[in-house]
């Protein structure tokens, strides 16, 4: 069945460091891929998405490229800020009716 595997945390970085959070998926066909972010005490918010191979999703300095050959959708940011501290979830859907989420990666950015 469809599934998402993402890098386990927690991840702690200094401000302005480079961030990578790995995400790989298993799915038949061509799923849409997402990164969601959850700030403390809040629900999940869509951060970025990509709907076909080689698409790059980007938002707020974060980027992820849909790599079908490696079934990956790694999240990157060149220079993290304290305000980026949150939990990040990788997710996929093929139909829009069933979403599969990873276990979440907690990021803490220290000044």
Q: Which long-range contacts (CB under 8 A, 24 or more apart) does 94-98 make?
A: 94/2, 94/27, 94/28, 94/29, 94/30, 94/31, 94/32, 96/32, 98/2
* Residue among 1, 40, 96, 111 that touches another protein (CB under 8 A): 96
Q: Does 62 bind another protein (CB under 8 A)?
A: no
Stretch that binds another protein, among 9-17, 34-42, 53-61, 64-72 (CB under 8 A): 34-42
Cβ-based nearer residue to another protein, 3 or 17: 3
Stretch that binds another protein, among 17-25, 59-67, 73-81, 98-106 (CB under 8 A): 98-106
**Cβ atoms 21, 77 nearer than 8 A:** no
Distance CA 34, CA 81 (A): 21
* Residue among 12, 14, 26, 51 that touches another protein (CB under 8 A): 51
**Cβ atoms 15, 30 nearer than 8 A:** no
Cβ-based nearer residue to another protein, 92 or 109: 92
């Amino acid at each position: 069945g469809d599934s998402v595997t993402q890098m386990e945390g927690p991840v702690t970085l200094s401000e302005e460091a480079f961030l990578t959070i790995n995400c790989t998926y298993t799915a038949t066909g061509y799923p849409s891929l997402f990164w969601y972010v959850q700030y403390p005490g809040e629900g999940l918010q869509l951060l970025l998405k990509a709907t076909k191979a080689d698409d790059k999703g980007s938002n707020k300095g974060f980027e992820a490229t849909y790599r079908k050959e490696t079934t990956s959708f790694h999240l990157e940011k060149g220079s993290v800020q304290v305000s980026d501290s949150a939990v990040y979830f990788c997710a996929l859907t093929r139909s829009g009716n069933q979403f599969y989420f990873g276990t979440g990666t907690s990021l803490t950015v220290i000044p």
